[in-house]
A and B are shown apart, each in its own frame.
Chain A
Amino acid sequence: MSADAEDAGRRTTAGSGGTEPSADAGVGAGPDAGSGAGVGHGASAGAGPRGADAGTGAGAVAGDWPLWEVFVRSRRGLSHVHAGSLHAPDAAMALRNARDLYTRRQEGVSVWVVPSTAVTASSPDEKDPFFAPAADKPYRHPTFYELPEGVRNL
């Protein structure tokens, strides 16, 4: 999709009307992609009802559901890896939405969801000083050490 498409003028209301056969199954009504618990639900769930539930609990952000970070274990023996994020009203829905959004092709055997607000991150501005202590300690790596000729299994 080209970014340039936005350039030409604003919309007018002069559309000639759809010539498409109007189907009974709109986007919102499909058994799977529709307004149930699938991804489709998440897609249309963008703006929570403004005002009305802006102040409700569960960490609701004004106009939108809280954000959750999703971690997926792709198979046994591997750790959970960050896959992305999503909005959901609570943890149970976040888990269901994560299943539909990030494991549609058997990408995972286990999923974690974590409120985004619970993540504390280092700041890129402090990157250098923050990680600097490790920079001058090459002796922490085995390659730092010179071994005499002929030494084996070390």
Chain B
Amino acid sequence: MPETIIERGSRSGAESGSGPRTGTGAPAAAAQAAATPGTAPETAFEAKIAADERIEPRDWMPDAYRATLVRQIAQHAHSEIIGMQPEANWLTRAPSLRRKAILLAKVQDEAGHGLYLYSAAETLGTGRDELLDKLHAGRQKYSSIFNYPTLTWADVGAIGWLVDGAAIINQVPLCRCSYGPYARAMVRICKEESFHQRQGYELLHTLAHGTPEQHAMAQDAIDRWWWPSLMMFGPPDDESAHSAQSMAWKIKRHSNDELRQRFVDICVPQAEILGLTLPDPDLKWNEDRGQHDFGAIDWSEFKEVLRGNGPCNEQRIGRRRQAHEDGAWVRDAAAAYAAKRALGAAGPGEAAA
């Protein structure tokens, strides 16, 4: 649980004197512009990074650091809420009440993770509504893994084991990210993710030890989700545009390829226990490296999905927009009710005064 309330001042009237931020980060930008002539704030920022201290919202920070964080945290938040869709697809068809309750809890967690992350992004001066607008307009991305379909019930297991497993590998180092609110959100998320991964693994294990048809269904799910899961770690290090700067800023702690290797090494023995085969003929233990070698990833597929040409890109963003629009009346009603109550509360008070 986050320890301090210090960062919350960032969005209070205390900072800009103008109440909660309206989404442009203008007060912070102005403060930054004023601070730039002297190099003191920049030096202080660099010193904090070097000392492995956390940057908090009201600290001076370079524009590019702020922009990088907003981009990454927003993309992460969007991934959480778009990620609700492929699994929610199976809620009504879960094979038992137990599985259904578990899946409901997991999908609800994903919504919660999205909210933790939108909150973290908001400490940087960008409002949640603005981020959602950008998602809906296709101007901000979400993880391309969620553009693949969940064709069978076994896919729910594969997502838990592989997709959440890869997410955990990516996210654990983010708990030490240099930006305090992001790191604290990740601590909370990582605690909850391990249930996600275990329920997926248990589901697959049950299928893999069931009838031949169930085993085949589990294997088919692994065959389809393995490679996209490896792509979740992002492009190879030598092609990763943001990596170097993010590492320097300690937003990112390990390279894409390093994390991908860690994931492969963890999954291989887990797949053996499942009795399922990872679909890579080149996958084998390399004694010299003390790690597994694995086959080449088809990056053209990755790029195509990112460009919007994955199997479900249209469906995912379309449903997100629709859910948002369909929920408008609820937001309207809640706002109207709150306004009416506020008036009611103010009315008698004024009359009495």
Interface residues of A (CB under 8 A from B): 1-28, 30-33, 35, 38-50, 52-53, 56-67, 69, 72, 74, 81-87, 89-90, 93, 100-101, 104-105, 107, 116-124
Whether B109 contacts A4 by the Cβ 8 Å rule is no
Check B268 for interface membership: any CB of A closer than 8 A: no
Q: Which residues of B have CB within 8 Å of A8? A: 302-303, 306-307
Q: List 13 A-B contacts (CB under 8 A).
A: A3-B252, A10-B308, A11-B307, A14-B309, A19-B311, A33-B84, A43-B114, A50-B129, A52-B332, A53-B335, A58-B342, A82-B5, A100-B112
**B219 CB–A CB distance under 8 Å:** no
Q: Cβ of A12 and Cβ of B308 under 8 Å apart? A: yes
Q: Do A20 and B151 contact each other (CB < 8 Å), given the known contacts A3-B72, A63-B129?
A: yes
Most A CB contacts (10 A, CB to CB) among B68, B149, B323 go to: B323
Most B CB within 10 A of own CB, among A4, A17, A87, A119: A4
Report B77-96 CB contacts with A as 1/0, cut-off 8 Å: 00101001110111111000
Chain B residues numbered 145-202 whose CB sits less than 8 Å from any CB in chain A: 149-151, 167, 170, 185, 188, 192
CA distance A118 to B11 in the complex (A): 10
| From B8, B93, B343, residue with most partner A Cβ within 10 Å | B8
Query: B88 contacts A25, CB within 8 Å?
Result: yes
Whether B338 lies near A58 (C-beta < 8 A) is: yes
Among residues 225 to 242 in chain B, which have CB atoms less than 8 Å away from a CB atom of chain A? 232-235, 240-242
A101–B115 contact, CB under 8 A? yes
Query: Is B9 touching A122 in the complex (CB atoms < 8 A)?
Result: yes
Contact B338 A57 (CB under 8 A): yes
Residues of B with C-beta under 8 A to A61:
19-20, 22, 127
- The number of chain B residues with a CB under 8 A from chain A is 115
Interface secondary structure of B, over-half rule: helix
Is B334's CB within 8 Å of the partner chain A? yes
Picked from B22, B129, B242, B308, the residue with its CB within 8 Å of the CB of A11 is: B308
Q: Which of A31, A40, A105, A119 has the most CB of B within 10 A?
A: A40
**B12 near A: Cβ within 8 Å?**
yes
A42 lies within 8 A of B115 (CB): yes
Which of B108, B115, B234, B313 has most A Cβ within 10 Å? B115
* Chain B residues close to A by CB (< 8 Å): 1-6, 8-15, 19-20, 22-23, 56, 58-59, 68, 71-72, 75-76, 79, 81, 84-86, 88-93, 104-105, 107-109, 111-112, 114-116, 118-119, 122, 127-129, 131-133, 138, 140-144, 149-151, 167, 170, 185, 188, 192, 232-235, 240-243, 246, 251-252, 256, 302-303, 306-315, 317, 319, 322-324, 326-328, 330-332, 334-339, 341-343, 346
CB distance from B178 to the nearest CB of A (A): 14
Q: Which residues of B contact A82 (CB under 8 A)?
A: 2-5, 8
How many angstroms from the CA of A48 to the CA of B114 in the assembled complex?
17
Given A4-B235, A18-B312, A69-B8, verify A57-B141 contact (CB < 8 Å). Answer: no
| CB-defined contacts of B12 to chain A, threshold 8 Å | 116-121
Given known contacts A28-B323, A33-B108, A43-B114, A20 and B339 CB-to-CB distance under 8 angstroms: no
CB neighbours (8 Å) of B149 from chain A are: 18-20
> A16 vs B221: C-alpha distance in the bound complex, in angstroms?
20
Measured between beta carbons, the chain A residues less than 8 angstroms from B15 are 121, 123
The answer to whether A39 and B243 touch across the interface, beta carbons within 8 angstroms, is no
Distance A19 CA – B86 CA, assembled complex (angstroms) = 12
A121 to B112 alpha-carbon distance, docked (Å): 27
B338 near A19: Cβ-Cβ < 8 Å: no
A53 to B337 Cα, complex, angstroms: 11
Partner of A86, one of B79, B119, B233: B119
A46 cross-chain contacts in B, Cβ below 8 A: 118, 128-129, 131-132, 324
Question: What's the Cα separation between A61 and B11 when bound, in Å?
Answer: 12
Instruction: Provide the residues of chain A in CB contact with B234, threshold 8 Å.
Output: 2-5
Alpha-carbon distance A74/B319, docked complex (angstroms): 37
Pick from A30, A87, A90, A93: contact of B104, CB below 8 A: A30
